[in-house]
Amino acid sequence: MVNIDYALNVICKETKIIGTENKDLLSSVNRVLAEDIYSKDNLPPFNKSSKDGYAIKSEDTLNCSKENVCKLKVKGIIKAGDFINDTLKNGEAYKIMTGAPIPKGADAVVKIEDIEIKDDNLFIFEPINENNNIIKFGEEIKIGDLAIKKDTVIRPVEIGVLASLGYSSVKVYKAPTVALIITGDELVDINSDIKNGQIRNSNEYSLKALVTNLNAEVLSLGIVSDDRENLKEKMKYALEKADIVITSGGASVGDYDFVKDILKEIGADIKFSKIAIKPGKPVTFATFNEKLFFALPGNPSSLITTFEKFVKPTIEKIMGKDDFHSEQFKVIAMYDFECEIGREKYVYVEIKKKDGNYYAYKVGSQCSNHLMTMSRANGIIVIPKEIGHVKAGEAFNGEFIFGINFKKYIKE
């Protein structure tokens, strides 16, 4: 039995980028850039007005005041998208719209709220500084400048930057294909009634949701019966077609737990087969050629816990997010409970915040096939290996589960 940190280190060491792929711009959201992005243009590509107003020569306004109102002649209008091949002379102005190019000779824009206009005459009541309301050529970025660094997560704002630079596709780290093999002769399709001894195949659905939520590809081989030859064929097929193979169930100590034997038989390199975590002890991790194999427990909440802890960072690392640690914070237990000594316990709780502190409340039995408990939880507290009794008021490390945005579901 290995410790959680040891397991994570071994997995992390074996996990490598599997390549890059070109994605059209909008499909690249939430993926990670596998190339540096350089600007092919100067942005803005011309001096441009940041306001609706009038393009002028600032020197014409040096002595303007309410007493000594300046008068300029409006020669025409420049809309966004226009380009005027004219040079402004002293005493002249162009009406100009936000985003439109500043005409030659002009060096400032006075905004529409600050002037008066009568026929073609523009009246200005104060001196206007040079460069006022002008966004300068190349101010945002210049040709050849690094715009976005390799290894950046592509958020909507990066989509905007890439579009403005004319990138309609980008190179991102390839998403792994994750094969799923669900073992267990007791499993029936979710549309079936359950007869004596049967339960529905929920693990396949949980795993599909977990994998697709990470933007990886799923190749599900569905329920595979506890028949050794059949299972072996499916495992070989999965290792051929996918980058990561996950089995659920069939890797414990029972007579029909063939997964480990088959891994040995086909020559996979088994790195460990038990982790000191609860729920979730019977986790086998193996490599076969460049492929990664996770045999996870069949108990639904052990499965989800070990996926989140061990498989998720693996998928994220392959996709360019090097994230083999989770953000933990202090949480105070609000109830007493007993737990097993010898494994690190991930206890599912409801975390509430009060006066800046976090508190953990009981949501149900921690029996490892109780998905209902997990469903009522928004976080976990981690009880160290050597602790067997927890008393209300004691503080432990905690984290929110399922990563995405869960702080906002905490009740204050």
Interacting positions 258-297 with a copy of itself (CB under 8 A): none
277: left (phi over 0), alpha (psi -120 to 50) or beta: beta
80 contacts: CB under 8 Å, gap ≥ 6: 97, 98, 99, 100
- Exactly one of 185, 217, 233, 394 binds a copy of itself (CB under 8 A); that residue is 185
Identify the helix (H) or strand (E) that includes residue 210: helix 202-213
CA 266, 270, 274, 277 torsion: positive or negative? negative
The CB-of-15 to a copy of itself minimum distance in angstroms stands at: 17
170 binds a copy of itself (CB under 8 A): no
Local structure of 221: helix, strand or coil = strand
Question: Taking CB under 8 A as the rule, does residue 338 contact a copy of itself?
Answer: no
User: Least distance from C-beta 67 to a copy of itself, angstroms?
Assistant: 26
Please pick, from the candidates 83, 119, 355, 411, the single residue that binds a copy of itself as defined by CB under 8 A: 83
- Cα dist from 41 to 134, 348, 376, whole Å: 19, 52, 52
- Nearest CB to a copy of itself, comparing residues 317 and 370: 370
Q: Which of 18, 70, 124, 135 binds a copy of itself (CB under 8 A)?
A: 135
Task: State the distance between the two ends of the chain, measured CA to CA, in whole angstroms.
Answer: 39
Can residue 372 be called a binding residue for a copy of itself (CB under 8 A)? yes
Contact residue for a copy of itself among 106, 162, 224, 319 (CB under 8 A): 162
**Site for a copy of itself contains 160 (CB under 8 A):** yes
Rule CB under 8 A: say whether 119 interacts with a copy of itself.
Answer: no
Q: Which residues pair with 170 in a beta bridge?
A: 23
Stretch that binds a copy of itself, among 62-70, 96-104, 173-181, 266-274 (CB under 8 A): 96-104
**Pair of tokens at residue 182:** 């669900």
| Burial class (CB within 10 angstroms; exposed 0-12, middle 13-18, buried 19+) of 219 | middle
Q: How far is the CB of 48 from a copy of itself (least distance, A)?
A: 8
DSSP string, 282-305: --EEEEETTEEEEEE-SSHHHHHH
Instruction: Give me the residues paired with residue 95 across strands.
Output: 54, 77
Distance of closest approach, residue 255 Cβ to a copy of itself, in angstroms: 7
Sign of CA dihedral 377, 380, 381, 382: positive
Quote the tokens at residue 293.
């194999």
Which are the contacts of 397, defined by CB distance < 8 A and separation ≥ 6? 328, 329, 330, 331, 381, 382
Q: Which stretch binds a copy of itself (CB under 8 A): 171-179, 203-211, 285-293, 333-341?
A: 203-211
Instruction: Tell me the closest approach of the beta carbon of residue 163 to a copy of itself, in angstroms.
Output: 4
Considering the rule CB under 8 A, would residue 139 count as an interface residue with a copy of itself?
A: yes
Q: Which of 15, 61, 132, 203: binder of a copy of itself (CB under 8 A)?
A: 203
Please identify which residue in 14, 21, 35, 41 interacts with a copy of itself, judged by CB under 8 A. Answer: 41
- 213 forms part of the interface with a copy of itself (CB under 8 A): yes
Q: Which is nearer to a copy of itself, 288 or 316 (CB)?
A: 316
Is residue 95 near a copy of itself by the rule CB under 8 A?
yes
Q: Which of 303, 301, 298 is nearest to 363 (CA)?
A: 301
Does 81 interact with a copy of itself (rule: CB under 8 A)?
yes
Choose one: 38-46, 55-63, 172-180, 388-396; the region binding a copy of itself (CB under 8 A): 38-46
Assigned token pair, 402? 């399922």
